Structure 1
Amino acid sequence: MKFGQQLRTSLIKDYYYYYISYDDLKTELKTRLNPPNSPTPHIWNEDDEKAFVQVLEAELDKVFTFQKVKSGEIVRRIKVSQKEVEDVIKNMDSREEARKPTEDDFEMLEEDLSDIIADVHDLAKFTQLNYTGFQKIIKKHDKQTGWTLRPLFSARLNAKPFFKDNYDVFIVKLSRLYDLVSTRGNPTQGDSSAGGTQQNFVRQTTKYWVHPDNITELKLIILKHLPVLVFNANKEFEKDDAAISSIYYDNRDFDLYLGRLRKDEGAEAVRLRWYGGMGTQTIFVERKTHREDWTGEKSVKARFSLKEKHVNAFLRGDMTVEQAFEKMRKEGKKSEAEIESLEALAREVQYTTLTKELKPVVRSFYNRTAFQLPGDARVRISLDTELSMIREDNWDGKVRSGDNWRRTDIGIDYPFQQLPEHDIERFPYAILEVKLQTQAGQQPPEWVRELVASHLVEAVPKFSKFIHGCATLYPNKIDLLPYWHPQMHIDIRKPITHHFGIERPNQSVSVSTSDEPSDSEDEIAPVPPMPMADAEAASAPGVLDEEERAGATIPAQTGDDYPFYDSEDEDSDEEETHLLHRSNATRTRNAIVKALQSFGNTVFSYGSYLIPHPRATEIDGPSPKAGTTYARKFKAPPGKRIFVPVRVEPKVYFAAERTFLSWFEFAVILSAVATTLLNFAESGGMVVWAALGFTITAVASLIYAAGLYIWRVRMMRSRRAVRYHEKYGPTVLCALMVISVGVNFGGALAGKV
């Protein structure tokens, strides 16, 4: 869909006259370039540029003024609602029965807050749509006129930054008020930092990508069910409070990267994390350890804290573990058992850092909004925005971190304009993490299942900031890429699948601009959406992940190397050469082959009706749209491979061994039959030939079983997602059996005759 049409279909009625006049600006461009009474196109000149910029600035001023007024109105409404809520909460303890709030009072407050939430949602969509409109009309201007307006107008946009309003302040305040009202003045009590004090915690986590157009809407939806987790309620919220930075460590061979990517048993990730700005003195040293399901253990994240001034000495081994925890022992705030556990962890991390020669490799920075009931970790949702990955190494001769544990030339000043492009990867999406702690057989809340199945999110199982940062920032050092790497160019916005979104009181769901995605002015075919993870399936233990389900349904022609998608440079070169040098004889041969294939497919399709096979049961319900693609095979960049993790448990090896022994038993029985026939056969008779047939079948089955067993073990060790079932072997051996039995039966009949 063209952007002009998208704009018209996504307009908010009350804001109608304040949107950018996109169609008028397009008409202005078209009229000046192609005057109605002129037979030839007009050459764009300085007067045309001034006139167009004047019209464009008038539109910018209109949008900026409305956004500023509307934002101020929301601020005032929040202040009024805050006072009303506080008054109602105070009256709850009043001794006068007449002053005590009723259920109607709380319902009216909840309705007012819902209306404010809808206003914040509409203003965010208004801002996003207008900003996109300005970007597109400037792009169209530069393309059609040949004059460059983008740098100049970017400065004017920054002078009137209607698109830079921070809605997180609104969200935090609205979350607190809505929680007070929805709980009728009795919000959940608990330690807001619960989880921050835990050293070892295990959660079931599912990750999703969120398009920037949907971030504010998603936050507003979640805050109606979970409050924003604020660690210090007595302090006014600032943007720096949401900043989280992590330094990931690895060596020159990227051993930790490869282990985490392949999901090797016991694979570790070591990182140093701090919350807030660069002045933070408390640094958390964390270690993530991956555990396979068959071990009966869960993947664990463990951490301990250090003062920033001691980090370098600790990582170099100059500071011992005992010295690092000496102050903690003197304070006596933790038990001896807890301190010993932390010391053991610190000793292991220090040993790993020194023996594997780990150095700072990638920094991840993002602003996190966490939603959770205080002290209740059963449902925790976090949304990471402005995600950036930054190089920290010194391996290419450029000094970044030097001898320090992190580089000091940057802080938390997103978007880090001072960095060169090859030093930073600005991730285009936000990362939503849904963390659940549910009992066995317990389903996640209904609203969570609706949220993760909605058009607002895109499931990306096992996504890792560390893995993505290494894969994108070190293209010359890393050849094995994560499965999501080739999907980065795909627009993840999807049409609305069901009524889910911000709803005004007594009105239908607000329209989301994400239902009509558009990347250009031209008509484009809709991109098939990537598969969404089912919330119920994701919550069940032992169920295959999205990429593993894809690995279990491999096209037959992909062969052994399916999880390692080859780069397309060889195929592209061959195809180009083939197109340039194809002769008439080649075209004729291809036509014949195509005709034979078509004939064979026709014969097979009609013949398949003669073979009985199970049919799917028809059920009522919506059917998938025709032409919708839920999986696709991606090509890796030249010289790269894409790894899709495959789970191989010990029982798989035992199953392969049992299958081999079954074939071995079958071969022994056939050889016994052949020996028996030889003992009772006359020389030169048909029975001798039957015995020979049984012998050949027995030997063939032994060779086939041994070769198949060796191949399977090799594939399992390399974690290849190949077809492990026997496709042709049983058919061939059964045919040999039929021939041998037929020869034996024929020989017996001939002997009687």
Structure 2
Amino acid sequence: MKFGEQLRSSIIREYQWYYIDYNGLKGELRDATGPLAANGSGAKEWTEEDETRFVGKLETELEKVHTKQQVKAMEISRRIAISEREVKEVVNRLNERGLGEEGPSEEEFLLLEEDLSDIIADVHDLAKFVQLNYTGFYKIIKKHDKLTGWHLRPAFDTRLKAKPFYKENYDASVIKLSKLYDLVRTRGNPVKGDSAAGGSQASFIRQTTKYWVHPDNVTELKLIILKHLPVLVFNASKEFEQQDQAITSIYYDNPEKWDLYEGRLKKSEGAEAIRLRWYGGMKTETIFVERKTHREDWTGEKSVKARFAIKEKNVNSYMKGELLPAAIFEKARKEGKKSEKAIAEDERLAAEIQYSVLKHGYKPVCRSFYNRTAFQLPADARVRISLDTELTMVREDNLDGRARSGDNWRRMDIGVDYPFSQLPPEDVVRFPYAILEVKLQTQVGQEPPEWIRQLISSHLVEAVPKFSKFIHGTACLFPSRINLLPFWMPQMDVDIRKPVTHDFGIRRPDISGTTTTSDDEEEELDSDDEELDAVRRGAGNGESSRHGARLRAPATDMEGQTVDLPTANDDFPIYDSDDEYDENYELEEARRVGGWHYYRILFSSKASAAASGAWSVLKYIIPHPHGSEIPRSDRLQTLFRNSRIQTKRFSAPPGKKIYVPVRVEPKVYFAAERTFLGWIEYSIYIGTIATTLLNFGDHPTPTAFWIAGIFTFLAIFSLLYSVGIYLYRSRSIRNRKAARYYDRWGPSVLCVALFVAAGFNFVYEGRERKYW
């Protein structure tokens, strides 16, 4: 959809006279007044007078949008303040009523709830208005620079900073609305208690899933969630500040081997992650030292995150081994605020982390920063939702000779001043999406809440299971040192915005349908935008099945929205298998090792290349049938018209490999062994038949000898085949490769050969006995 069409279809009635005049600005670009261009196109040249006229109109449009945004934001602030007074007045009447006195009526609470819902809808509409106009300004500037040859973008960035209508942060409004809405929803009796409560249930299932959220949908998502869960505020008596939401972590690893990175990426049993975390600004004195340990399900244990607190002034001496754990907790023992058992557990954890850091040479390598908005009932941990925005990864190492952190445990030239514009591009990665994490703790057999099911199957989120900030940051910040990439890296080049799948979103309480999230939100595409056009072509490639899947009914399970329509050939996954990532990957790894290992891998790669070439020649020479083209369905014709549709397969950059998660349990090894033993048994039977025909016949003949030879060949071939398959599968399982563990041709070939051998034996034996 062209942006002009999207703008017309997304107009909200209240703002209809305040949107950017996109078509008018496009008309200005066509009204050049200079002489005819020398290229013979018949178009006129763009002059300085034309530029002045265009910039004047652009300034007028920017002033119009900025003024409307400011006025509406002030109106929303006043409405929230008025609603806050009204809610407090009603709640106070409820709490101060005497015996026999009637409190506020249900109708009063309903009116307050409707008023707050209307304010929430206003915030949603304003966020959509700002986002659409911001996109419109940059699209018209891009069109101007392309058509006229005059570069307006740098100068217009300065004008935007002077009138930053797009930088309005709604977090303070969201927190206030959340508190008020929770008061009204609970009729003045909000849930109170420890936010960590609920974890002591005897029988529960904990499900954690991560999603990416496009920046265009962040505010809308917050408003939807706050109508069901309040924003979790740890210090309600303190006035909200932006840095209160900041969370910063320093991740450690061995920069030579990257043990922790690969362990967390492969989800190996016992894989650890060590990080130092603090909340708020750089002046925070309390630092948490954390260790996350991954446990496989088959072990019967759960993955564990353990941590202890330490003063910032002691971190350096602790990480260097100069400060022993016993000294860290000496003061806690004297004060007696914690039990001796809890202190002993923290001390043991501190000793283990210190030992690992010193033994393996772990150093600070990566920092992650984000602002977190958490949603949860204070005394109910069944549903926990966190939304991390402005996610940024920063280098903390000194590997290339630059002293970033030096001898300190963290660099001090940055704080929580997102977007960290003072850093060079090679030191920082700004993640383009927000991270939504949904944690469900339900009783066995219990379904999650319906609104959660609708949320995670909506167009607002994109499921990315097992996403890790540490893994993503390390892979992006150290491209020359990291060769094994996470499976979601190719997805970074795909626009995750999706068409609306079902009616789900923000609605005004009285006028149904005036404000919903089901407005037309297809891709913002101009016919002359090469970059977005390439994205659309990508959608025609890899996204075609995804769009088709999203037009179906909502998903009915937790991960339903990640299932795509079947491709034309389900024989291969969407990601290339480990053998197909990069044919030179293992060779490059072996070259680093050197010695006989390198020569063995070199010979193996050359032999594989020769075999592949011979197979390609045979396929080209031998005629084989080709599939017939199937006419495009009406639905696909409507979606993509005559554009080409094909399934896209992602591949890693040269010299690197994408790691596809493979779950390996002990029973997988046993299954491979059982299959191998089954083939051995088959081979023994065939060998027994061959030996019987050869040695125990009454009158040995040449026919019997040749029949026995066929069965002997089958027995030997099945033995060699089974050993080869077993070795291949065992190696793939040990290396957690996304290989094909099914056998497509082996059983069929051996069964056909056995049938042929038995048929020959029957025919020749019949001829020997003169039956035919």
TM-score range, shorter chain: 0.7 to 0.9
Task: Give the whole-Å Cα distance in 2 for the aligned partners of 1:175 and 1:229.
Answer: 9
The TM-score, its normalising length taken from structure 2, stands at 0.85
Query: What's the offset of the Cα at 1:736?
Result: 2.3
Structure 1 contact 67–123 (Cα < 8 Å) conserved: yes
Task: Give the whole-Å Cα distance in 1 for the aligned partners of 2:527 and 2:138.
Answer: 12
- Residues 1:690 and 2:694 are matched in the alignment: no
Counterpart residue number, 2:27? 27
Amino acid at match of 2:719: L
Amino acid at match of 1:266: G
Q: Which residue of the other structure, out of 122, 138, 157, is the alignment partner of 1:135?
A: 138
Counterpart residue number, 1:306? 310
Structure 1 contact 563–645 (Cα < 8 Å) conserved: no
Query: What's the offset of the Cα at 1:739?
Result: 2.4
Counterpart residue number, 1:63? 65
Residue 271 of structure 1 aligns to a residue whose secondary structure is strand
Bigger Cα displacement from structure 2, 652-661 vs 690-699: 690-699
Task: Give the whole-Å Cα distance in 2 for the aligned partners of 1:557 and 1:218.
Answer: 29
Q: Which residue of the other structure, out of 650, 657, 665, is the alignment partner of 1:641?
A: 657
Q: 1:522 to 1:602 in 2, by over 3 A?
A: closer
Counterpart residue number, 1:285? 289
Q: How does 1:126-525 map to 2 (within 5 A)?
A: 126-192=129-195, 203-252=206-255, 253-506=257-510, 507-508=512-513, 509-511=515-517, 515-522=521-528, 524=533, 525=536
Task: Give the whole-Å Cα distance in 2 for the aligned partners of 1:208 and 1:539.
Answer: 11
Structure 2 contact 264–271 (Cα < 8 Å) conserved: yes
Q: 1:33 to 1:3 in 2, by over 3 A?
A: farther
Query: What's the offset of the Cα at 1:670?
Result: 2.0
Bigger Cα displacement from structure 2, 515-524 vs 501-510: 515-524
Structure 1 contact 125–512 (Cα < 8 Å) conserved: no
Q: Which residue of the other structure, out of 75, 79, 82, is the alignment partner of 1:80?
A: 82
Residue 369 of structure 1 aligns to a residue whose secondary structure is strand
Q: Which residue of the other structure, out of 740, 758, 768, is the alignment partner of 1:741?
A: 758
Q: 1:203 to 1:752 in 2, by over 3 A?
A: closer
Amino acid at match of 1:102: S
Task: Give the whole-Å Cα distance in 2 for the aligned partners of 1:556 and 1:414.
Answer: 38
Query: What's the offset of the Cα at 1:513?
Result: 6.2
Query: What's the offset of the Cα at 1:685?
Result: 4.5
Could you report, residue by residue, the CA deviation over 1:274-312 in whole angstroms, capped at 9, with x for unpaired residues?
000000000011111111111111211111110000000
Could you report, residue by residue, the CA deviation over 1:188-223 in whole angstroms, capped at 9, with x for unpaired residues?
1112476999xxx99531111100100000000000
Amino acid at match of 1:330: K
Could you report, residue by residue, the CA deviation over 1:162-194 in whole angstroms, capped at 9, with x for unpaired residues?
111110011000000000111111111112476
Counterpart residue number, 2:690? 674
Amino acid at match of 1:259: G
Task: Give the whole-Å Cα distance in 1 for the aligned partners of 2:583 and 2:228.
Answer: 45
The TM-score, its normalising length taken from structure 1, stands at 0.88
Query: What's the offset of the Cα at 1:672?
Result: 2.0
Task: Give the whole-Å Cα distance in 2 for the aligned partners of 1:657 and 1:164.
Answer: 61
Amino acid at match of 2:232: L
Query: What's the offset of the Cα at 1:559?
Result: 8.6
Task: Give the whole-Å Cα distance in 2 for the aligned partners of 1:557 and 1:390.
Answer: 31
Task: Give the whole-Å Cα distance in 2 for the aligned partners of 1:180 and 1:498.
Answer: 30
Q: 1:624 to 1:355 in 2, by over 3 A?
A: farther
Residue 443 of structure 2 aligns to a residue whose secondary structure is coil
Q: 1:631 to 1:458 in 2, by over 3 A?
A: farther
Structure 1 contact 566–641 (Cα < 8 Å) conserved: no
Query: What's the offset of the Cα at 1:229?
Result: 0.3
Q: 1:711 to 1:55 in 2, by over 3 A?
A: same
Task: Give the whole-Å Cα distance in 2 for the aligned partners of 1:263 and 1:395.
Answer: 26
Amino acid at match of 2:221: L
Q: How does 1:600-615 map to 2 (within 5 A)?
A: 600-601=626-627
Bigger Cα displacement from structure 2, 324-333 vs 108-117: 324-333
Which residues of structure 2 form unaligned runs of 5+? 588-615
Residue 386 of structure 1 aligns to a residue whose secondary structure is strand
Bigger Cα displacement from structure 2, 437-446 vs 531-540: 531-540
Task: Give the whole-Å Cα distance in 2 for the aligned partners of 1:309 and 1:88.
Answer: 48
Bigger Cα displacement from structure 2, 432-441 vs 400-409: 432-441
Residue 32 of structure 1 aligns to a residue whose secondary structure is coil
Query: What's the offset of the Cα at 1:602?
Result: 6.5
Instruction: Give the length in aligned residue pairs.
Output: 707
Bigger Cα displacement from structure 2, 7-16 vs 720-729: 720-729
Query: What's the offset of the Cα at 1:318?
Result: 0.3
Amino acid at match of 2:403: V
Counterpart residue number, 2:597? none
Bigger Cα displacement from structure 2, 153-162 vs 737-746: 737-746
Bigger Cα displacement from structure 2, 427-436 vs 742-751: 742-751
Residue 389 of structure 2 aligns to a residue whose secondary structure is strand
- Residues 1:90 and 2:92 are matched in the alignment: yes
Bigger Cα displacement from structure 2, 293-302 vs 352-361: 293-302
Structure 2 contact 453–557 (Cα < 8 Å) conserved: no
Task: Give the whole-Å Cα distance in 1 for the aligned partners of 2:583 and 2:130.
Answer: 42
Structure 1 contact 208–458 (Cα < 8 Å) conserved: yes
Structure 1 contact 461–545 (Cα < 8 Å) conserved: no
Amino acid at match of 2:273: A
Query: What's the offset of the Cα at 1:505?
Result: 1.0
Could you report, residue by residue, the CA deviation over 1:42-95 in whole angstroms, capped at 9, with x for unpaired residues?
332332222221111111111111111111110111111111111111111313
Task: Give the whole-Å Cα distance in 2 for the aligned partners of 1:395 and 1:324.
Answer: 30
Task: Give the whole-Å Cα distance in 1 for the aligned partners of 2:767 and 2:387.
Answer: 82
Task: Give the whole-Å Cα distance in 2 for the aligned partners of 1:730 and 1:658.
Answer: 15
Task: Give the whole-Å Cα distance in 2 for the aligned partners of 1:43 and 1:747.
Answer: 92
Bigger Cα displacement from structure 2, 1-10 vs 91-100: 91-100
Structure 2 contact 581–651 (Cα < 8 Å) conserved: no
Task: Give the whole-Å Cα distance in 2 for the aligned partners of 1:545 and 1:710.
Answer: 33
Bigger Cα displacement from structure 2, 288-297 vs 394-403: 288-297
Q: 1:40 to 1:672 in 2, by over 3 A?
A: closer
Residue 381 of structure 2 aligns to a residue whose secondary structure is coil
Amino acid at match of 1:84: E
- Percent identical pairs in the alignment equals 57
Amino acid at match of 1:658: R
- Residues 1:658 and 2:674 are matched in the alignment: yes
Counterpart residue number, 2:731? 714
Structure 1 contact 285–303 (Cα < 8 Å) conserved: yes
Counterpart residue number, 1:618? none
Bigger Cα displacement from structure 2, 74-83 vs 95-104: 95-104
Task: Give the whole-Å Cα distance in 2 for the aligned partners of 1:8 and 1:557.
Answer: 37
Structure 2 contact 383–438 (Cα < 8 Å) conserved: yes
Query: What's the offset of the Cα at 1:516?
Result: 1.7
Structure 2 contact 364–409 (Cα < 8 Å) conserved: yes
Q: 1:72 to 1:195 in 2, by over 3 A?
A: farther
Q: How does 1:569-584 map to 2 (within 5 A)?
A: none
Bigger Cα displacement from structure 2, 693-702 vs 78-87: 693-702
Task: Give the whole-Å Cα distance in 2 for the aligned partners of 1:238 and 1:35.
Answer: 57
Structure 2 contact 80–119 (Cα < 8 Å) conserved: yes
Residue 494 of structure 1 aligns to a residue whose secondary structure is coil
Q: 1:106 to 1:635 in 2, by over 3 A?
A: same
Structure 1 contact 554–562 (Cα < 8 Å) conserved: no
Which residues of structure 1 form unaligned runs of 5+? 571-588, 606-621
